[in-house]
Amino acid sequence: MASVDTTTNAGQLLAAASGGRRRRGDRIFSRTAVLAALTVLLLLAGVAIFLLSEGYPALTASASELPQGKTFLDYVAPLAFGTVLAAALAALVAVPLAVAAALFITHVAPPKIALTLGYLVDLLAAIPSIIYGLWGIFVLGPAAVPVMKWLEEKLGFIPIFEGPASVTGRTMLVVGLVLAVMILPIVSAVAREAFAQAPRRLQEGAQALGATRWEMIRMTVLPFGRSSVISGAMLGLGRALGETMAVTIILSVSGAVTFNLISQANPSTIAANIALNFPESSGLAINALIATGLVLFAITLVTNMGARAIIARANQE
C-alpha cells in the first residue's frame, strides 16, 4: 500500500530535490538514530553511576551509622545469601521442567497443537509478579503446609527439611517454587528455540536406524541444545535473582542464614529487603539500600553476561 505512493513521491523527489537538501535530511535522521543508540548506552551507564554515587555513602559509613548497626558487608552478606539460595532453588526446580516442556512442545506433542501449547507457556511470563505473590501466599503456601509437615516428619534428618515446619507456608521452599514457575517460560523459550533447530537429518537418521523417540531425543536433540539450555538456565537464574514482589509478599524473614527451607525463619533477599524497607527509610538507610541494589545489579549483570557469552559462542559454532 505505502510503497505505491512512495514510488511516485520518490520520482518527484529525484526530479526536484537538490542534493544538499537531501543530504541534510539524511544527516539529521541518521544522527537521530545514533543519538537514540547512544542514549540507550548512556542510560545503562547511568544506572551504574547513579547507584554508585547514591550508594557510596553507605559503603564508607561506619557500622554504628548503618541500619542494624552492622558494617555494609555484614549487612549485605545474609541478603546476598538469601538471594542466591532462592534463585538457585528456583533454577533447580524450573530447569528440568522447562527442558521437558520444551521437548514436549517441539518433539512429542502433535505439531497441530504445539503452537497453542507454546503460547500457554508464554502466558506464564505475561502475568505480573505481584499476582504470583498473592497466589503464592493465599493459594500455594497454604497448600504446601501439609507437604512441609510431612517433609519435616519423614525427611527431617536432611538439614534442608529440618523444620520446624511453618504453619503459614511463608517459607523459602514456597518462594523457590513460585520463582520456578515465574522463570520457567524464559528457560523454556530458549530451550524450545534450540530444540526446534536441531538438525532434522540427524533425527531422521537416528529413527531410520531404529532408535526410539526418546533415544532420538537423547542422542540428537539434547546434545544440540545443551549450551542453549545452560544459557537459558542462567537467564532464568538472573531473573530469579532480581525478582522482588513474589519474595516480598511470601517470605517470612528473620535474617537467619540457614539452608533450612521449610521453617518460619528465613534469610531475606536483596530485592525483597529493598521493597520492604525502602518506603519507610530515610537518610543513610536509603543509601545502604541503594548500595545493596548495586550489589544485586552486579550479581545479575555477571550472570546475564555469562549467559549471553554462552549463547554467542553457541551461535558461532
Q: Of 308, 292, 306, which Cα lies nearest the Cα of 83?
A: 292
Residues 159-178 touching another protein, rule: CB under 8 A, are none
Residues 220-249 touching another protein, rule: CB under 8 A, are 235, 238-239, 241-245, 248-249
Taking residue 3's Cβ as centre, other Cβ atoms within 10 Å add up to 7
Confirm or reject binding of residue 100 to another protein (CB under 8 A). Answer: yes
| Residue labelled with grid coordinates 504446601 | 144
Q: Helices marked H in 104-171 — which ranges?
A: 111-126, 129-135, 141-155
Q: Which residues contact 12 (CB under 8 A, 6 or more apart)?
A: none
Confirm or reject binding of residue 133 to another protein (CB under 8 A). Answer: yes
User: Which range in 65-73, 136-144, 149-157, 221-229 contacts another protein by CB under 8 A?
Assistant: 136-144
Looking at 61, 88, 124, 222, which residue binds another protein (CB under 8 A)?
124
Question: Which of 40/153 has CB closer to another protein?
Answer: 40
Query: Shortest approach of another protein to residue 148 CB, angstroms?
Result: 18
Q: Is 1 helix (H, G, I), strand (E, B) or coil?
A: coil
Confirm or reject binding of residue 4 to another protein (CB under 8 A). Answer: no
Grid coordinates of 246:
513474589
Confirm or reject binding of residue 142 to another protein (CB under 8 A). Answer: no
Confirm or reject binding of residue 105 to another protein (CB under 8 A). Answer: yes
Residues 30-89 touching another protein, rule: CB under 8 A, are 30, 32-41, 43-44, 46-47, 50-51, 53-54
> Rounded CA gap, 94 and 187, in Å?
8
> Rounded CA gap, 62 and 77, in Å?
16
Confirm or reject binding of residue 115 to another protein (CB under 8 A). Answer: no
Q: Which residues contact 303 (CB under 8 A, 6 or more apart)?
A: 234, 237, 238, 241
Question: Which of 97/160 has CB closer to another protein?
Answer: 97
Size of the site for another protein (CB under 8 A): 108
CA angle (66 as vertex; 64, 67 as ends), nearest 5: 115
Looking at 20, 279, 316, 317, which residue binds another protein (CB under 8 A)?
279
Looking at 58, 165, 296, 310, which residue binds another protein (CB under 8 A)?
296
Confirm or reject binding of residue 126 to another protein (CB under 8 A). Answer: yes
> Rounded CA gap, 233 and 191, in Å?
9
